[in-house]
């Protein structure tokens, strides 16, 4: 089809003229009736949403539908104008009408599935093309119009609609052919709403990822973005290297290269790289950076694209084995001058990465078939001699890694740390290279410190530069779209000619009609409201993930979900090194039920099963492949288990191959003989949390509040956990179970009145005893005053307990008893307290280990509305429950240490001590002292530190407005007057009474006079605030917002003689509560000032910023619930590893495993070190 393009262009003028005439006629008929689109940037997803009535509207004008118009038919863009959605449209569409949907996943997605020149080709074949308008797309609307397309918001006439990225479920027009990357074929959770919508709306869903030669899953992909990830990755990486080299003190021509998206097209980007190459050729690179050795891994499209970019620099291709000699020449001062005027490029393949363990010759096919016969060598033969590594090769867990963080550390210690940068285009987290986090296009780089293993986005920090962005092709949208459209074009006419069928063919038939080419038929995921034959396994994977028991249907599965289904066993007791082997199974693994049988056998024998690779069979008639690792407690136990699995495989007619014991390593050859054990445990703590398995462990969860849902979801990932959730209200537990998919069969709801337990009720005490006694662990998430009663039961029945609350005096009193009983009572494992302890102690221990002296430590934390939700009230704060608690907290006394002086702050003066602070150059905040900070100085081992401070964060202006209320006496908790509830008392009169004009007959008359003359009342307030040093205008504005100058009545049932209670009721209004779709945010900040042994001052900074999900889990619930869940799971897996008694998570034994697991959940602390010119005189 591509060969016909010249002929198609030759015939395009006539077709275009006719098409344009039809479009002008439609535009004239519809003039004035169109509803234009609004391509706005929402605060979270950058979704481009359409205005009301767009999808189902008829006769919309392509001319009038413009982003330049407003949703009411004209006018400029408005930043805060609500973006409306319209109906989903009706079934149908017309044959041979192709729609192009606007991309709206994020602001960087400027690609299109077809370019304007592809429109010309389609028109010449008799198709109409309708393109949704978009001001962000790389091709303008006018370019599509000039090619003959109709630019129209309404796609309801289209039988087939194409897009690039996934489409929001509510935007899927029913009964159409839809083509996009759906991310559903592995039952990815994020793609399941799209799949459900496609089934419900009887959409024929075609996934580009599955368009392959012959329609076979094993066939070559025909529609993809080719080498553009390699192009963009290499260009961005060169830009990062330029910045990094500048931080290291070297100005290089690379500094003048921008990121790929900064250029109008690929040719301009290449020209910039070539110009940098000319400068290198003429002026050279700094000698300290030479030889500049660039190593590429793999030879696929991605690596070839990156190599093409680097080849624009002056270079010499060398064998990987020659790199060490180049470095030796530099070390001995024999580097030739011309060696600094070019870079050296080496392309590595399998033979450069591994060697046979028996010393035999490398065989590529043999390596892929039996990787356990090979050991890694890249980390010693290539890594120490590489300046940069660009990683574009395929890798899975069967194969050795190229290098690990341990290798980087080892080489740094030995002085062989030449490596300056890694460009991981594959974006495999902790895959073949130690990439620990993905970056964004806005902030594409981070530094990994091999000594501390800490990550920083500050390129001035010591360490290795990493670049890992997982949507690189979107940085080159024009060329990527052109290439993609070339691949897609041959399939569109036949697809657009058909309407999506209303029913699926017979169950044994392939999806699609005979009129569709096989590559398209093999890519149809859904049709007629059902899953296509070769994709029915998706239902099974979903059910497995949700914990349901189903019959196998068809071949194929996803490794990530089968891991969850594999029923891995309880942790192997530490009685000696475990026995390990790798098994490979090939055959009908699902139809035969063998996968479940293998998991059952491992569970029965108390072994651990980890799925490494699971390849989907090409069709239901073909075999699947599984590589798994089995860990048993001893060699004898392993041999017995493998024999059982072999028998099961033979019975299922499945071929099994066993790797040599200990052959498979996820680490490098330089690791110790215990590397195999490490690969199961320590090499991936996050992974082990989700795949270990065994007999059921009973977890008793007390409480059903907001923080419980993320905790329950986390614990239920492990099939060996069963939960009992007890709360005062059974309906709360039932509602919680409904929120967690697949939890119904593994959660037992119970009612329990802990208040009655504390009161000594015999029935309540007996039930509590029974629940605790039956548990392997108790998680108490009830009000703090109830924890001690639960802890007493836990000690009595020798059951460990976890809670997120502060250690109370009653809890601390149980320490000796708990130690004698051998019971762990772990407290303060939430956000604050919790994550603050973990992060602080890691930072403090690291600084002390380096021989530095701590001069100042400050720990700040706050739960706030996200910025876009904070502007609805003057405080910038939202109340999840009664505002009274927050108002009371603003009157708490505080104590902290500053320059060896203990500062005591009275409760009524707390708000006067609020100080402004700016975090991340983005958040303007106030910080308030948080109760007694000095108690934590001793816990942190910083009793001798001159300054120690803990603070609470609020948005800037919070303290000033709350201080105005305090100065007026409106935050008093005790009775301030003799006022009684009265329906006739106005807010204005109540305020006048609180100003102190009551208490005597003349005072009452004065208060009445003030309330009757608002100007006098305002003047009295202004005078009072000015006298106290508070900004009167700020206070007056806040009082006006509260309605205290109005004549409206006070809230019903308000205790008029208790100002703080009245104020709490007045703050209970929609503007101070989270509304549907609004997010919360948590911010945590640690600052540690230290004096190094050499006298240099530096500041260590750790920052956490986390957001909740709109209409989903809040950031506060996530950070508290996940932290508690991780600690609970660690105790379940290793009950003897953490000691006993009443504890806080202050030791290395806690922060070393917990912080990486939090990072795996997306709760990541960003850390960096910055120089200090002089010691800070302030604690904040």
By annotation, the residues acting in catalysis are: 832
Q: How far is CA 1105 from CA 237, 805, 939, 1005, in A?
A: 26, 21, 25, 53
Q: Point out which residues pair with 865 in neighbouring strands.
A: 1080
Signed CA dihedral, 761, 764, 767, 771: sign only: negative
Cα 741 off chain centre by: 20
Burial of 220 (0-12, 13-18, 19+ CB in 10 A): exposed
- State the Cα torsion 1119-1120-1122-1123 to the nearest 10°: 100
Residue 781 to residue 805: CA distance in whole angstroms: 8
Residue 736 to residue 719: CA distance in whole angstroms: 19
Give the tokens for residue 37.
């689109």
Find, among 1104, 1083, 1115, the residue nearest to 862 by Cα: 1083
CA atoms within 13 A on the CB side of 472: 31
Residue 81 to residue 40: CA distance in whole angstroms: 9
Residue 777 to residue 327: CA distance in whole angstroms: 57
The answer to whether 102 touches 180, Cβ cutoff 8 Å, is: no
**Who's near 966: CB < 8 A, 6+ residues apart?**
890, 891, 908, 911
Residue 686 to residue 1155: CA distance in whole angstroms: 10
**Who's near 73: CB < 8 A, 6+ residues apart?**
32, 34, 35, 36, 64
Q: Tell me if residue 17 falls in helix, strand or coil.
A: helix
Give the tokens for residue 323.
């790199």
Q: Is residue 248 within a helix (H) or strand (E), and if so which, with residue range?
A: none
Residue 740 to residue 980: CA distance in whole angstroms: 48
The answer to whether 669 touches 375, Cβ cutoff 8 Å, is: yes
CA atoms within 13 A on the CB side of 393: 23
Residue 949 to residue 104: CA distance in whole angstroms: 45
Residue holding tokens 């930043």? 79
Residue 512 to residue 498: CA distance in whole angstroms: 10
Furthest-apart CA atoms within the chain: distance in Å: 107
DSSP type of residue 996 = I
The answer to whether 310 touches 390, Cβ cutoff 8 Å, is: yes
The answer to whether 317 touches 240, Cβ cutoff 8 Å, is: no
Rg over CA atoms, the chain:
33
Alpha helices in 863-978 (DSSP H): 884-889, 934-939, 958-967
The answer for 250, left when phi > 0, alpha when psi is -120 to 50, beta otherwise, is beta
CA atoms within 13 A on the CB side of 187: 22
The DSSP code sequence of 726-792 is: EES-HHHHHHHHHHSTT-TTTEEEEE--HHHHHHT-HHHHHHHHHHHHT-SEEEE-S-GGGHHHHHH
The answer to whether 420 touches 689, Cβ cutoff 8 Å, is: no
């Amino acid at each position: 089809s591509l060969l016909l393009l010249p002929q198609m262009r030759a015939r395009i003028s006539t077709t275009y003229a006719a098409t344009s005439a039809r479009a002008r006629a439609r535009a004239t008929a519809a003039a004035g009736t169109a509803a234009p689109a609004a391509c706005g940037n929402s605060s979270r997803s950058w979704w481009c949403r359409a205005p009301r009535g767009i999808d189902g509207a008829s006769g919309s004008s392509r001319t009038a539908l413009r982003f330049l118009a407003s949703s009411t038919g004209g006018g400029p863009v408005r930043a805060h104008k609500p973006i409306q959605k319209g109906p989903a449209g009706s079934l149908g569409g017309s044959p041979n009408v192709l729609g192009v949907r606007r991309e709206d996943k994020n602001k960087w997605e400027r690609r299109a599935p077809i370019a304007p020149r592809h429109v010309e080709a389609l028109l010449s074949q008799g198709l109409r093309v309708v393109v949704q308008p978009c001001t962000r797309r790389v091709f303008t609307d006018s370019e599509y119009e000039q090619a003959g397309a109709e630019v129209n918001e309404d796609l309801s006439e289209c039988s087939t609609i194409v897009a690039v990225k996934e489409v929001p479920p509510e935007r899927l027009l029913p009964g159409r052919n839809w083509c996009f990357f759906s991310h559903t074929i592995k039952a990815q959770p994020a793609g399941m709403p799209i799949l459900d919508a496609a089934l419900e709306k009887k959409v024929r869903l075609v996934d580009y990822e599955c368009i392959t030669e012959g329609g076979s899953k094993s066939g070559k992909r025909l529609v993809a973005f080719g080498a553009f990830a390699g192009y963009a990755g290499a260009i961005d990486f060169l830009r990062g290297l330029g910045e990094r080299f500048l931080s290291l003190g070297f100005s290089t021509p690379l500094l003048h290269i921008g990121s790929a998206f900064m250029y109008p097209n690929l040719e301009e980007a290449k020209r910039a790289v070539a110009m940098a190459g000319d400068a290198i050729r003429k002026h050279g690179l700094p000698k300290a950076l030479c030889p500049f050795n660039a190593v590429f891994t793999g030879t696929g499209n991605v690596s070839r694209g990156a190599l093409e970019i680097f080849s624009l620099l002056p270079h010499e291709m060398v064998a990987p084995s020659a790199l060490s000699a180049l470095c030796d020449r530099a070390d001995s001062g024999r580097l030739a001058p011309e060696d600094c005027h070019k870079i050296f490029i080496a392309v590595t393949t399998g033979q450069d990465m591994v060697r046979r363990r028996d010393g035999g010759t490398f065989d590529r096919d043999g390596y892929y078939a039996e990787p356990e016969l090979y050991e890694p060598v890249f980390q010693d033969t290539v890594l120490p001699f590489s300046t940069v590594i660009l990683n574009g090769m395929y890798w899975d867990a069967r194969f050795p890694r190229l290098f690990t963080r341990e290798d980087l550390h080892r080489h740094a210690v030995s002085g062989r740390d030449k490596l300056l940068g890694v460009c991981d285009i594959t974006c495999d987290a902790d895959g073949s290279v130690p990439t620990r986090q993905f970056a964004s296009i806005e902030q594409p780089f981070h530094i990994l410190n091999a000594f501390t293993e800490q990550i920083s986005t500050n390129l001035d920090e010591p360490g290795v530069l990493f670049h890992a962005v997982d949507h690189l092709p979107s940085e080159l949208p024009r060329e990527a779209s052109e290439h993609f459209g070339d691949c897609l074009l041959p399939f569109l006419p036949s697809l657009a000619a058909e309407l999506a069928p209303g029913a699926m063919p017979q169950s044994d038939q392939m999806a699609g009609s005979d009129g569709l080419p096989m590559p398209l038929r093999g890519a149809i995921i859904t049709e007629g409201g059902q899953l296509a034959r070769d994709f029915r396994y998706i239902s099974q994977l979903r059910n497995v993930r949700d914990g349901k028991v189903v019959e196998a249907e068809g071949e194929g599965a996803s490794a990530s979900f089968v891991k969850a289904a594999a029923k891995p066993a309880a942790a192997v007791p530490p009685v000696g090194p475990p026995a390990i082997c790798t098994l490979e199974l090939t055959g009908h693994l699902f139809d035969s039920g063998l996968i479940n049988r293998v998991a059952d056998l491992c569970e029965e024998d108390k072994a651990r099963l980890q799925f490494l690779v699971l390849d989907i069979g090409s069709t239901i008639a073909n075999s699947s492949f599984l590589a798994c690792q089995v860990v048993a407690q001893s060699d004898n136990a392993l041999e017995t288990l493998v024999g059982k699995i072999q028998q099961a495989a033979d019975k299922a007619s499945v071929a099994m191959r066993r790797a040599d014991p200990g052959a498979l390593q996820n680490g490098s050859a330089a690791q110790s003989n215990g590397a195999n054990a490490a690969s199961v445990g320590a090499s991936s703590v996050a992974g082990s949390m989700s795949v270990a398995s065994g007999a059921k462990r009973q977890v008793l969860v007390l409480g059903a509040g907001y923080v419980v849902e993320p905790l329950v979801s986390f614990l239920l990932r492990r099939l060996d956990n069963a939960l009992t959730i007890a709360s005062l209200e059974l309906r709360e537990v039932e509602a919680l179970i409904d929120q967690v998919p697949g939890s119904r069969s593994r959660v037992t709801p119970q009612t329990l009145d802990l208040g009655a337990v504390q009161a000594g009720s015999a029935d309540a005490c007996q039930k509590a005893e029974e629940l605790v006694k039956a548990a392997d662990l108790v998680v108490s998430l009830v009000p703090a005053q109830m924890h001690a009663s639960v802890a007493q039961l836990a000690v009595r029945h020798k059951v460990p307990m976890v809670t997120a609350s502060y250690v109370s005096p009653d809890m601390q009193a149980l320490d000796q008893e708990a130690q004698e009983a051998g019971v762990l009572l772990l407290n303060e494992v939430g956000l604050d307290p919790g994550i603050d302890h973990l992060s602080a102690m890691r930072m403090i221990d690291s600084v002390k280990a380096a021989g530095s002296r701590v001069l100042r430590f400050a720990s700040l934390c706050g739960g706030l509305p996200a910025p876009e939700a904070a502007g609805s009230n003057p405080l910038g704060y939202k109340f999840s429950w009664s505002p009274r608690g927050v108002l009371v907290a603003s009157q708490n006394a505080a104590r902290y240490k500053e320059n060896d002086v203990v500062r005591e702050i009275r409760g009524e003066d707390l708000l006067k001590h609020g100080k402004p602070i700016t975090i991340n150059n983005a958040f303007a905040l106030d910080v308030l002292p948080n109760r007694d900070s000095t108690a934590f100085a001793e816990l942190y081992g910083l009793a001798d530190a001159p300054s120690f401070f803990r603070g609470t964060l609020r948005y800037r202006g919070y303290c000033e407005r709350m201080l105005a209320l305090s100065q007026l006496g409106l935050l008093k908790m005790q009775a301030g007057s003799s006022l009684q509830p009265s329906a006739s008392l106005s807010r204005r009169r109540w305020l006048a009474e609180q100003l102190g004009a009551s208490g005597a007959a003349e005072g009452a008359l004065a208060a009445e006079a003030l309330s009757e003359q608002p100007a006098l009342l305002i003047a009295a307030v202004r005078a009072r605030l000015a006298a106290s040093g508070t900004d009167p205008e700020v206070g007056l504005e806040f009082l006006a917002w509260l309605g205290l100058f109005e004549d409206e009545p006070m809230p019903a049932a308000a205790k008029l003689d208790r100002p703080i209670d009245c104020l709490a009721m007045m703050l209970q209004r929609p503007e101070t509560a989270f509304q549907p779709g609004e997010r919360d945010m948590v911010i945590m900040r640690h600052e540690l000032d230290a004096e190094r042994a050499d006298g240099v001052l530096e500041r260590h900074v750790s920052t956490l910023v986390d957001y909740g999900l709109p209409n989903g889990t809040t950031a506060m619930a996530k950070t508290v619930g996940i932290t508690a869940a991780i600690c609970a799971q660690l105790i379940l897996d290793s009950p003897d590893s953490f000691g006993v008694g009443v504890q806080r998570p202050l030791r290395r034994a806690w922060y070393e495993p917990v912080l990486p697991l939090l990072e795996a959940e997306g709760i990541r602390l960003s850390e960096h070190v910055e120089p200090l010119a002089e010691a800070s005189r302030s604690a904040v």
